[in-house]
Amino acid sequence: MEWIDTHCHIDGEEFAEDRELVIERAREAGVGKVFVPAIDLPTSERIIDLCRQYPDYLYPMVGLHPEEVRADWREQLSAIRNLLLAEDQKLIAIGEVGLDYYWSREFEQEQLEAFEEQVRWSVETQLPLMIHCRKAQNELVSIIKRYAKQLPGGVFHCFTGNEHEAEELLQFDRFVLGIGGVLTFKKSHLPEVLPAVVPLSRIVLETDAPYMAPVPMRGQRNEPAYTRHVLAKLAEAYGVSEEEVAASTNANVARVFGIKL
Ligand SMILES: [Zn+2]
């Protein structure tokens, strides 16, 4: 049984000492591939280089994360766009991109413009979107609506919302929800919310490592191998076998990203 971690910051400093071992443990646990989101220009460049060292295992994205949108966002975007359009690399998606008003609304207008521009890149290149959204779902949905017919699809990563929010996102039928460690947290409503309104055909697995480690690793550095705890919890919540969760999420990854295990 193998499955895919669709969102892992394995390029991060947190893995500088033992990245090779982390990847070894991932392979042994059953993680067949790992997708790596960027957050700005330096990480976009670094991730392309890193993924070249692990062909057919690590897959790069490029993009400007909403929390990294500052006064220089236009310069960042134009340099990231050059990476996007360079032909000598295989990018898996544009990400992570989106809106985040949780900590600050200082660059609210810039975030909206930067997100919309990267949504247009997805239309142009037909690469899927890896979307980050916090405290901004209304604004996010209204931008995606304008491009929904032309967009290839993507992931609403780290979904933690309620039934209404899930249904609102699932109206975009080429998009899926990224589910990670939060599912396993004691106070999480996801074990009830997901089976109620989200079919297994609309879910992909993720770690968001080094963040969001699942129970029983909560509070530690997260890593791709820990997706098996999320997989097990999903199987329990949906009342199906772990093999079925792996097979469904793999099929969903193949549909959204065009990549098969
Ligand atoms: Zn992330």
Output the DSSP codes for 50-112. HHHTSTTTEEEEE---GGG--TTHHHHHHHHHHHHH-SSS---EEEEEEEE-SS--TTHHHHH
Report the separation in Å between the CA atom of 111 and the middle of ligand 1, taken as the mean of its atom positions. Answer: 16
Report the separation in Å between the CA atom of 142 and the middle of ligand 1, taken as the mean of its atom positions. Answer: 22
Residue 260, pLDDT score: 86
Residue 206, pLDDT score: 98
Higher pLDDT, 91 or 88: 91
Return the closest-CA partner of residue 185 out of 244, 139, 120, 229.
Answer: 229
pLDDT band at residue 173 under the 50/70/90 scheme: very high
Residue 234, pLDDT score: 98
Indicate the pTM of the whole model.
0.97
pLDDT band at residue 99 under the 50/70/90 scheme: very high
Residue 194: pLDDT above 80?
yes
Residue 176, pLDDT score: 98
Residue 102: pLDDT above 80?
yes
Residue 87, pLDDT score: 78
Cα–Cα distance for residue pair 84/125, rounded to 1 Å: 9
Name every residue whose Cβ is closer than 8 Å to that of residue 229 and which is 6 or more positions away in sequence. 181, 184, 214, 215, 216, 217
Report the separation in Å between the CA atom of 65 and the middle of ligand 1, taken as the mean of its atom positions. Answer: 9
Q: Of the ranges 71-80, 85-94, 197-206, 226-235, which one carries the lowest mean pLDDT score?
A: 85-94
Q: Classify residue 158 as exposed, middle or buried by CB count within 10 Å of its CB (0-12, 13-18, 19+).
A: buried
Return the closest-CA partner of residue 1 out of 256, 242, 252, 202.
Answer: 242
Partners of 31 in the β-ladder:
3
Report the separation in Å between the CA atom of 132 and the middle of ligand 1, taken as the mean of its atom positions. Answer: 7
Q: CA geometry: angle at 35 spanning 15 and 149, to 5°?
A: 145
Return the closest-CA partner of residue 250 out of 22, 25, 31.
Answer: 31
Helical H segments across the chain, by residue range: 19-29, 41-52, 73-85, 108-125, 137-147, 163-170, 190-197, 227-238, 242-257
Average pLDDT over the chain reads: 97
Residue 221: pLDDT above 80?
yes
Report the separation in Å between the CA atom of 195 and the middle of ligand 1, taken as the mean of its atom positions. Answer: 24
Tokens at residue 95, please? Answer: 């990400």
Residue 88: pLDDT above 90?
no
